[in-house]
Amino acid sequence: MTSAAAKRGKITDENREEAAKLLAIWNQTKADREARGVGSQEKFGAEFGIGNQAAVGFFLNARTALSPKAAAGFARGMGCSVGDFSPRLAKMLNVAAGWTAEQHTPAGVIVSSVAQDMSHLMQSHTLLEITWESLVAAVPDSLFVLPLRDDALAPDHPAGRRVVWRKDRPLKTGRLVLLRDKHGADCARMLHDGPLPGQWVASASHRAFMSFDVPSADVTVLAVHQGFLEDD
């Protein structure tokens, strides 16, 4: 075994399966990545901390086993979850980031949004209460809790307000959305009607915070608010 191969380590069937899923998502997101200026392996690897063109190619083609850092970079750059291609690494990143699983039920919390599906979802899901730092690594399961990080939406939604987010909820005027911009930064904004049907403006309450057009090549929608949690 050459020294380079030794550094890459033995490739297992699980590694190959992860790489195949990763490559499929890579191909599916080609147009979006090109629109954001990170379509090539070289530019993508440099932008999201994965390495040079060869490193990205090795991960995509199962010549190198995915590392947690590389997996987080791919997920951030392609706008998906690490769990979409590697449940193994998603679990590892969750533990490393200190995510804690907390079971919430209607008896234990007051839900500001009184939609019936909210109560049903909260009874049937374990909600992960995560941090903004861990969100950079990977978006967790379809339903999770993430407090607002700043006063961009104050006074109606001040920093610290705990929001239940859902990845598969449709966009609609008047909902909060969790966004990731083209530089990999995450933020929460409120959706308002855009100039044309099917378009929105994701805006902040204060001019000091940037607004975004949705859909747009500049941002990826990570999740939409499902409701709010209030302390007992």
Q: Residue 182: what pLDDT?
A: 79
Question: Is there a single domain that holds both residue 90 and residue 119?
Answer: no
Question: Is there a single domain that holds both residue 205 and residue 115?
Answer: yes
pLDDT higher than 90, residue 97: no
Q: What whole-number distance in Å separates Cα of residue 56 and Cα of residue 40? A: 10
CB 71 within 8 A of CB 86: yes
Residue, of 98 and 82, whose pLDDT is higher: 82
Name the phi and psi angles at 171, rounded to 5.
-75, 145
CB-facing half-sphere around the CA of 56: CA atoms within 13 A: 23
pLDDT in tens, 126-182: 566 666 655 654 555 577 888 998 999 999 999 999 998 888 788 889 999 999 887
pLDDT in tens, 101-128: 333 333 333 233 333 444 444 554 556 6
Q: What whole-number distance in Å separates Cα of residue 187 and Cα of residue 148? A: 8
Question: Is there a single domain that holds both residue 154 and residue 55?
Answer: no
Strand partners, 221: 179
Question: Is there a single domain that holds both residue 58 and residue 138?
Answer: no
Domain span at 210: 100-230
The domain boundary, picked from 97, 126, 146, lies at 97
Q: Residue 52: what pLDDT?
A: 92
Question: Is there a single domain that holds both residue 65 and residue 116?
Answer: no
Q: What whole-number distance in Å separates Cα of residue 20 and Cα of residue 69? A: 18
What is the percent of the chain with per-residue pLDDT over 90, rounded to a whole number?
Answer: 34
Residue 56: give its domain's CATH number: 1.10.260.40
Question: Is there a single domain that holds both residue 14 and residue 52?
Answer: yes
pLDDT higher than 90, residue 231: no
CA 201 to chain centre: 20
Closest CA to 177 of 185, 168, 165: 165
Question: Is there a single domain that holds both residue 74 and residue 90?
Answer: yes
The domain boundary, picked from 76, 97, 118, lies at 97
Question: Is there a single domain that holds both residue 52 and residue 113?
Answer: no
User: Domain count of the chain?
Assistant: 2
The domain boundary, picked from 46, 70, 97, lies at 97
Residue 224: give its domain's CATH number: 2.10.109.10
Question: Is there a single domain that holds both residue 104 and residue 217?
Answer: yes
Tokens 């440099």 belong to 46
Angle at 24 between CA 19 and CA 27, to 5 degrees: 120
Question: Is there a single domain that holds both residue 51 and residue 134?
Answer: no
Of 93-107, 131-145, 218-232, the poorest mean pLDDT is in: 93-107
Q: What's this model's pTM, rounded to 2 decimal places?
A: 0.46
Of 25-39, 187-201, 218-232, the poorest mean pLDDT is in: 218-232
Question: Is there a single domain that holds both residue 104 and residue 93?
Answer: no
Question: Is there a single domain that holds both residue 218 and residue 133?
Answer: yes
